[in-house]
Amino acid sequence: MPKKRPAGSIRPRAFCNRIYWRALGAGAARTGAAEASRIRAAPAPEDDCMVKAYFRPKTAGEALELLSNEDGAVLLAGGTWLLTSQFAWCPMTAIAITDLLPKGIERHGDRIIIGAGATFQAIADSALLPAALREAALSMADRNIRNRATIGGNIGADKSCSSLLPFLLVAEARYSRAQAPALTAAEWQTASPAEKGLIAGIEFELPASRRFAVGRYSRTSCDVAVLTCAVSAELSDGSGASHGRPALRGLRIAMGGLSPHARRFPELESLFEGRPLADKAVIEAAAAPLFAPVDDVRGSAAFKRLRAAALLADVLFSLEASL
Amino acid sequence: MTTTFTLNGRPVALACEPGESLKTLLRRAGIVSLRNGCDGEGSCGLCALLLDGKLVNSCLILALEADGREVVTIDYYNKDATLRTIQRALIDTSCVQCGYCTPAVALSVRELLARSPEPSDAEVADALSGTLCRCTGYKQYFEAVRLAARRLSEPGYAPPLGPEFRPDLRHVGKDREKVDAETLSRGERAFVEDRVTGDACVLKVLGSPYAHAWIASIDTAEAEAMPGVVAVLTHKNTPERVYTTAGQGFPEPSPYDQRMFPRKMRHVGDRVAAVLAETPEIAAAALAAIKVTYEVLPPVLSIAQAKANEAPVIHSGEVSYVAGSPPVGTDTRGDGRDDPVVYQFPLHSDPHRNLAASASGGIGDMEAGFAAADIVIERSYKTNRVQCTPMEPHVVFAKIEAGRLVLHASTQVPWHVRRIVARAVGISENKVRVIKERVGGGFGAKQDIVVEDIAGYLAWTTRRPVYFRYTREEEFIASRTRHTMEIKVKLGARHDGKLTAILMNLDADTGPYGQHCLTVPMNAISKSLPLLLCDNARFEVKSYYTNLSPAGAYQGYGAPKGSFALQTALAEMACALGMDQLDFLEKNRVRSGSRIDILKSLGEGREGAAVTLGKCGLGDMMARGRQAFGWDQPKPPAPGSDWKIGCGAVIIQQGSGLPGLDAANAEVRLLSDGTLLMLSGGADLGTGLDTVTAKAAAENLGLDLTDVTVISGDTDITPFDKGAYASSGTYFSGNAALKAAEDLRRRVFEAAAPILGEAPEDLHIEYKGMVVGKKGKISLAELGHRSVQGEGHGELSGFGSFKTDHSAFPYGAHFVQVAVNERTGEVKVQRYHAYQDCGTPINPALATGQVYGAILKAIGHSLYEEMLYDGEGRCLNPRFLDYKIPTIAEVPPDFRVELMPVEDEIGPFGAKSVSEISVNGAAPAISIAIHDAVGAWVREWPFSPERVLHALGRL
């Protein structure tokens, strides 16, 4: 029998590959027993051996209780990551929450609320959402996956190549959680697995004064992202402009592919805050030394450093054009 | 537990396990149209279905998640007129090749048209973004969707006919429904996995974790004792005889250097042991219980390492030569431990120095040739390992019937399978039957006997049915890849552009075993050098063993590599001369009537022969491409200040089968109602060969295609055929079918003559199925009926056998325009035009689709496909998540194929081969275009952004 793994940790099969695996942040706290119908049976057929038990709780509370009590418990929404063969050798107890998660997308003035169960395709299709977020959703180019993958699941996976996290980070989104206070995206990332809980919704402000831009590099359209970038800044009031170029104020930069998780880069923000953009070459020369990517099958560290700097420069220029 | 949902309009309640995917559940329930190309990775889309109207991958949905939902698969077509319309559109636009992805494609289009009745091309691409197809190049799907959309609003709509050829013929040169398209579009049982019986045992292989190691000890006792384990195989209890797994004619030009289970592991994934068990779970558990200790050896991971003095020796057993002889000074004695190597064919090898094969040859005087040159350049090129990735991995179902071994195989070479499996098992060939099922992609990988030997052996020895299917990972590391090659090209030319000397030195990495170790590298020369007229030309080829993944045949064989090196070098010479690249090619290419002397040195294992070229359309294709592509026009503006535009062009060729080596046979029978049964030895891989043979019969006997049923690739029922490789299908198998049809027609006339009271020579056939003389006529139906009656003349059957010494070369000219980003190294293929000669295209749209498919595969290996290894010889990206093949999004915005027929005097109806050649052009054309754009030569494929930046000096 496979060894019991630490709560909340999922390790994909290791044969022959250096695969990026991430602790599933969505829960490891253990409390009492659950009442939801419990399904256990003999080992599943060949391709499908990872889920050993399945629950479909009727309430969020029930889901959280199961998450706490069951060995190898994971919250299962779209399943486009957890159910892939990367995890074929890792026994899990699936707590299916698709029915529980809000899926709607709402806009109330400047406030955007997205249900954690909203799919990537729903986000891409929603006219209520900013173009940058829709573009980020569409950057997951495989429509079959977009039809199923959820924003909540993408947050929960917390992968470096996440399509949506960079945007959410620069939007300073807040995650409402079941039976727990909301956390900002950054707070949620740094929370322990036991503290992460069940995300119910994602909220952020979209004031008219703020602009966003996103970018991505991958080898082919349907490849996981090698690098992602999202930037945001305040609409220019003209102060600090130079040679017709606006100064960037309230600048926020988040990138993925350069660290174990997508993150904000305050060190980059301080480089460009309050100033007009220089030429792309200057931006790249300034940014590249701040990146520390790793070699992998998608590129060498040296290439990724150069490419990340170019991506950042391109996205900053896109942002500038909208200011 | 039970999951309850609506399946194709009916409520169902199905028992399932918690971890069972919807895909697995539905396949268990008989929905075989959900295919598996990625083992649950969610990358291939072949298991897609509609869940509450949304297209999703069923491998990523638990069966229990479907509870309360609506599920639709392709099997719903009976009740869904839209689905039927889509299926018909796919068939009518020749989008159905191997058919493995067709159900998924149809459902993708179904979802699309439900939300966008008149979709744009961008919407079509988005709808199909999740479906991998390796055959078609996706291009024709756009047309299929437009047709389906139109027919949904105008049910009787008939699109304009595509280009047609040979107006004197009824079916040949016209688009007709591929004979298996209907079956495949419905997702019906057609593939090996659909033939597996409920009592089949599952075979799993324990692969070596080391690239190079002895098995020091192996203990299978615990595994053997497990309930449900039928047999465990290792080197201890399997035959010691060595053989080759290369699907080539005997004596194979590949060494016999493989044992069913070797004691020495020569690559990661090499066979350590195999378990046959009653369920996959038991087999997996038994594998895990096998205890193995290894004596690890230093691996050889490159050609340079293989060549080095004191390199680890990969094959250290005794070497013997049935044909050929050892190099002078070589020690053929073995180390007493390793398995022997036997040469049935002169390969000029030295396995104790890791040299698997070598050859050299040439014409003229190289010294004089280079001395006469005004400019001499010398360049080195490298091509890295890529994998065929057929969507259906290697698979076989083996069983015993009436005391014989029967193999349901996904193979290109049924008769080679029979011979090699019989040898491996130690039985005579009459005890073996091979049935080629529909093949979900071959592309050369299924030319070899990769899984059939152990499956056959286990079925024979245990008398239990055996099902063996490779995982995608095994497909990468333990089937067949392209050979890595390092090619030096030295060219001499005068200022006027005339070549004076060509030298090609080629080193190839054949991997751990020598299948195709001579023929692939030789093909790199034989399909590139003969494009040029040069009095002084020489080549030297060496093929080395390494401990990387086994190399073998992949579409194009060696030609893509040779073409890349030579065509790029020619472009570099044109640059050095200050000449336009096309003008330089024009000055040096072969033309009609050219005598190609270099072919004298390019016979494999025997003297070759110079050929005087018949009709050659190369000049027309270059001229047409030059004009239509706008070669001499100013380049369009770049899509931004970081981008530069460049263009490149190449000329390419292939062969049409192996003259003097291969043979094909066919038989066609007249049935008692006047229809025909065509028994073709040919192996249709989705390429449409069965349709070619059906057309040969229908054309000759004045019938419709629906009057001809083709049975093919069954070693019991159909006559011998060498198999589908070396671009031989249409030329050899098609010609055999044509001869069989002609033979039947002759016999029909002989039988009809006395009935009509006329001389046979006064009879002819008229549509439909009527034998007509000067005085009367009789239908084939009447004749067929009479022939089998008591007073009849016996069943009328025609037999055809085809072999030839004639070389039929298809040619092509490919043009490409790229945009290169100087900051990021990204390369975008904006335009790709292919002007392709295949003689008479027998199925024009299908031929066109194959050209698209081949080109897109080549774009893949040109830009991003590459198998990567760590320092221990382990493949780092043996799955679709990490090894990227083109999707529909990678189709160039301007992607065109134009067939320019140049009839061959021997080819059936004037046809030559069409699809393999098309994989030869992209790499050199793109590398030339990159240089044209940014002034840097990238001489190693793939031309990843990283390599482009290196070439630009930015990394």
pLDDT digits (tens, 9 = 90+) for A195-237: 899 999 999 999 999 999 999 999 999 999 999 999 999 987 8
Q: Is the pLDDT of residue A66 over 80?
A: yes
Question: Residue-wise over B355-381: b if at least 16 C-beta within 10 A, else e?
Answer: bbbbbebbbbebeebbebbeebbebeb
Which has the higher per-residue pLDDT, B933 or B601? B933
pLDDT by residue (tens digit) across B617-658? 999 999 999 999 999 999 999 999 999 999 999 999 999 999
pLDDT at B605: 65
Closest partner residue to B955 (CB to CB) among A47, A84, A303 is A303
Q: Which of A183-197, B77-91, B195-209 has the largest mean confidence?
A: B195-209
Of B519, B589, B586, B532, nearest to B559 by C-alpha is B519
For residues A241-260, average pLDDT: 93
Of B39, B23, B24, B34, nearest to B473 by C-alpha is B39
pLDDT by residue (tens digit) across B355-385? 999 999 999 999 999 999 999 999 999 999 9
Residues 6+ apart with CB under 8 A from A231: A170, A212, A213, A214, A251, A252, A253, A254, A312, A315, A316, A319
For residues A150-158, average pLDDT: 95
Residues 6+ apart with CB under 8 A from A35: A62
Closest Cα in chain A, distance from residue B503 (Å): 34
Say whether residue B288 is in contact with chain A using an 8 A CB cutoff.
no
Mean pLDDT check: name the lowest of A30-34, B532-536, B693-697. A30-34
pLDDT at A233: 96
For residues B193-203, average pLDDT: 97
Closest Cα in chain B, distance from residue A148 (Å): 7
Q: How far apart are CA B550 and CA B270, in angstroms?
A: 9
Contact B19 A302 (CB under 8 A): no
pLDDT at B328: 84
Say whether residue A48 is in contact with chain B using an 8 A CB cutoff.
yes
What does the DSSP 8-state code read for residue B268?
Answer: T
Of B473, B481, B407, nearest to B448 by C-alpha is B481
Q: How far apart are CA A121 and CA A151, in angstroms?
A: 10
**pLDDT band (50, 70, 90) for residue A49:** low
Contact A217 B879 (CB under 8 A): no
φ, ψ (nearest 5 deg) of residue A149 = -65, 140
Give the ipTM. Answer: 0.95
**pLDDT band (50, 70, 90) for residue A127:** very high
Strand order in the sheet with A73-76: A39-40, A51-55, A92-96, A73-76
Question: Residue-wise over A43-59: b if at least 16 C-beta within 10 A, else e?
Answer: bbbbbbbbbbbbbbbee
Share of chain B above pLDDT 90, in %: 93
Interface probe with A: pick from B3, B20, B41, most Cβ of A within 10 Å: B20
pLDDT at A47: 54
Interface probe with A: pick from B26, B47, B56, most Cβ of A within 10 Å: B56
For residues B100-113, average pLDDT: 97
Question: Would you state the structure tokens that stand for residue B227, as one six-digit string?
Answer: 């309930």
Contact A222 B65 (CB under 8 A): no
pLDDT at A29: 23
Q: Is the pLDDT of residue A48 over 90?
A: no
For residues A68-89, average pLDDT: 89
Label the pairing between strands B404-409 and B432-436. Answer: parallel
Q: How far apart are CA B827 and CA B825, in angstroms?
A: 6
Tell me the one-letter amino acid at A126.
S
* Residue with token string 């019989």: B422
Closest Cα in chain A, distance from residue B286 (Å): 14
Mean pLDDT check: name the lowest of A152-161, B356-365, B905-914. B905-914
pLDDT at A125: 97
Q: Is the pLDDT of residue B825 over 80?
A: yes
Characterise B839 by phi-psi region: left (phi > 0), alpha (psi -120 to 50), beta (else).
left
Q: Is the pLDDT of residue B161 over 90?
A: no
pLDDT at A320: 93
Q: Is the pLDDT of residue B551 over 80?
A: yes
Question: Would you state the structure tokens that stand for residue A94, as one six-digit string?
Answer: 């699936």
Please state the pTM of the whole predicted model: 0.95
Mean pLDDT check: name the lowest of A48-52, A262-266, A294-298, B426-430. A48-52
Please, which residues 236-275 of chain A have a Cβ atom closer than 8 Å to chain B? none
Residues of B in contact with A15 (CB under 8 A): 473
Q: Is the pLDDT of residue B311 over 50?
A: yes
pLDDT by residue (tens digit) across B926-935? 999 999 999 9
Instruction: Please give the residue of chain B at the shortest CA–CA distance from A17.
Output: B876
Interface probe with A: pick from B946, B949, B952, most Cβ of A within 10 Å: B946
**pLDDT band (50, 70, 90) for residue A262:** very high
Secondary structure class of B900 (helix, strand, coil): coil
Please, which residues 87-116 of chain A have a Cβ atom closer than 8 Å to chain B? 88, 94, 96, 98
φ, ψ (nearest 5 deg) of residue A48 = -120, 35
pLDDT at A16: 23
Mean pLDDT check: name the lowest of A209-213, B226-230, B838-842. B838-842
Q: Is the pLDDT of residue A286 over 80?
A: yes
Q: How far apart are CA B474 and CA B394, in angstroms?
A: 9
Residues of A in contact with B944 (CB under 8 A): 219, 299
Characterise A47 by phi-psi region: left (phi > 0), alpha (psi -120 to 50), beta (else).
alpha
Q: Is the pLDDT of residue A21 over 80?
A: no
Mean residue pLDDT of chain A comes to: 85
For residues B295-301, average pLDDT: 98
Residues of A in contact with B43 (CB under 8 A): 222
For residues B827-853, average pLDDT: 95
Mean residue pLDDT of chain B comes to: 96
- Which ranges in chain A belong to alpha helices (H)? 60-69, 120-125, 131-138, 143-146, 151-157, 165-170, 185-190, 193-196, 266-272, 280-287, 301-322
pLDDT at A36: 33
Say whether residue A16 is in contact with chain B using an 8 A CB cutoff.
yes
pLDDT at A44: 33
For residues B766-774, average pLDDT: 96
Say whether residue B949 is in contact with chain A using an 8 A CB cutoff.
yes
Please, which residues 452-491 of chain B have a Cβ atom closer than 8 Å to chain A? 473, 477
